[in-house]
Amino acid sequence: MTNIKSYFSAQPTRKKLFVLFIAAFIVRSSVFFFYIQHKERYKQADSTDYHNCAYLMRYFHGLQRPDNKEIIFWRTPGYPAFLLPFYYLHENQDPDFSLFTPAQKAALWAQIILCSFVPLIIFFLALLLSASYAIAWLTAWISVIHIGFVLSATYLLTDGLASLFFYLFLLLYYRSWRVWGESKPIKKAGLILSGAALSLGAYTWMRPMGIFVAVFSALLLIISNDKVTIKLKKMMLFLIVFFASVSPWYIRNYHYTGKVFFCPMSGGILQAFCAPKIIRRIHDVPLEQATRALYAQVIQQAESEEGILKAMGSDVQVSKHLICVDFALPWLLKHPFYAFYDWMVQVFKTLFDLYSSQLVAFVTNSHTFDPIEEFLTVKISSCLYATPIPVWMRIISWTEFFFLLLLWVGLCGGLWLFVFREFYLAYCSKKKVSPATYTWIKTMPMIGAVTFMTGGFGYARLRLPVEPLMIILALMFWFYVLGKKQKNGEKLV
């Protein structure tokens, strides 16, 4: 017990960090080697799209279909570009997904190696935010075996690799901060903040939601402890570096369509998952019927615009996902209460869903597609008792369920303890709030912003970018409750 306590209170060394990396690699590679690689379990709902994009880049040198010359706008090139070198090693002009198994497995082994660095980044992120070696080590080791981190590294999806860049963004972004109570200026803050912007840019090339995160992160700098002029300079620097890093894709899309956008996927989400639910309520029709009817209008409009452009001799491309916005958004604006309610139901599902539901999907052979609608209670019950699954899956599901309970008790308890109670006491006694409170103030908005964007269709892996922040905050509460706080009430150890 003494050795364990001394380990978790010790500073990081190269040896300890190397052991952390090796442990993460062993866990991820074992899961992939013994289970995920078989029967193409790494093929998820969006995997075919990424494969097709990598295939087009390999044999046609761009994201354009060779049959109808349609330009692909609904996927960004970051993850296909990662797959591309491995596709060059495998010669096969047949686009069938299964024929590229050797290339896909090689790419996933490289992805597993890269994702094994995630616990190291999370360690330094937790240390930065909590000022506690114990919390940093515990958070890092949780990320080694956490089912969400492990599974994401083994899928032919963007989540695992993109999250690596997102955690690097969080580390650099919060490192550039000077919170209230800190008087020393951050050395090389501009350089660190630029690194954060570039890391978020790399993330955005894989997952377009980074655009929203960038704008939100710049605005969040307002609550940092800097002069107003310094805040504005930091905000401008961050946004300039970020948008410069993703500008080539804006230029490319404008070149083909004459419209400024990075990725129109949000239009498809509104059309497929949001507006049809409102139509179902208003017209009392099945959800599938509402979805098909709305999509038929989109296709009709797209064909009409394409016909007009062709008659004019124009080579301007039409993006169906941009047209989706034109048909879906009016429904949301006309019925904002329904839209907000449906959106928050999905956000709630993202926050409380179990990553273990993906294990159930393997058993039910439903992992290669997303249903048009699913319910949180059904998913959780399937993991815990309703769906027959192997014993080891059931153990993992129950373990994650109890972990999620502890996580949310920690988050709710910490919100009261470090935010509401702390500010109340500070107001009554005129004392400064503790550094722990500042950590909560600057990280809670990031958790809320990232998860709020998942209101189109929520599930566990969409909260993966902020999962480390949630774990860190919850551990701060539990360490306080278990008496791991110094007598001065300011620093957790």
pLDDT digits (tens, 9 = 90+) for 51-76: 999 999 999 888 988 877 789 998 99
> Does residue 491 carry a pLDDT above 70?
no
> Does residue 42 carry a pLDDT above 50?
yes
pLDDT in tens, 287-300: 999 999 999 999 99
> Does residue 182 carry a pLDDT above 60?
no
pLDDT in tens, 235-250: 999 999 999 999 999 9
Q: Residue 492 — pLDDT band, cuts 50, 70, 90? A: very low
> Does residue 10 carry a pLDDT above 80?
no
What is the pLDDT averaged over residues 128-138?
A: 93
> Does residue 485 carry a pLDDT above 70?
no
Lowest-confidence pick of 23-27, 238-242, 264-268: 264-268
Q: What percent of the chain has pLDDT over 70?
A: 95
> Does residue 190 carry a pLDDT above 90?
no
* Mean confidence (pLDDT) of the chain: 91
> Does residue 493 carry a pLDDT above 50?
no
Residue 306 has a pLDDT of 86
> Does residue 488 carry a pLDDT above 50?
no
Lowest-confidence pick of 328-332, 357-361, 436-440, 470-474: 436-440
pLDDT in tens, 203-233: 999 999 999 999 999 999 998 877 889 889 9
> Does residue 365 carry a pLDDT above 70?
yes
> Does residue 145 carry a pLDDT above 60?
yes
What is the pLDDT averaged over residues 30-51?
A: 95
Residue 147 has a pLDDT of 97
Kindly list the domain boundaries of the chain, sorted by start residue: 159-206+209-261, 265-334, 338-493
> Does residue 463 carry a pLDDT above 60?
yes
What is the pLDDT averaged over residues 137-165?
A: 97
Residue 27 has a pLDDT of 98
pTM of the model: 0.94
Q: Secondary structure of the chain in the HEC alphabet?
A: CHHHHHHHCCCCCHHHHHHHHHHHHHHHHHHHHHHHCHHHCCCCCCHHHHHHHHHHHHHCCCCECCCCCCECCCCCCHHHHHHHHHHHCCCCCCCCHHHHHHHHHHHHHHHHHHHCCHHHHHHHHHHHHHCCHHHHHHHHHHHHHCHHHHHHHHCCCCHHHHHHHHHHHHHHHHHCCCCCCCCCCCCCHHHHHHHHHHHHHHHHCCCCCHHHHHHHHHHHHHHCCCCHHHHHHHHHHHHHHHHHHHHHHHHHHHHHHCCCCCCCHHHHHHHHHHHHHHHHHHHCCCHHHHHHHHHHHHHHHHHHHHHHHHHCCCCCCCCHHHHHHHHHHHHHHHCHHHHHHHHHHHHHHHHHCCCCHHHHHHHCCCCCCCCCCCCHHHHHHHHHHHCCCCHHHHHHHHHHHHHHHHHHHHHHHHHHHHHHHHHHHHHHHCCCCCHHHHHHHHHHHHHHHHHHCCCCCCCHHHHHHHHHHHHHHHHHHHHHHCCCECCCCCCEC
Q: What percent of the chain has pLDDT over 90?
A: 74
Q: Residue 484 — pLDDT band, cuts 50, 70, 90? A: low
Lowest-confidence pick of 24-38, 341-355, 430-444: 430-444
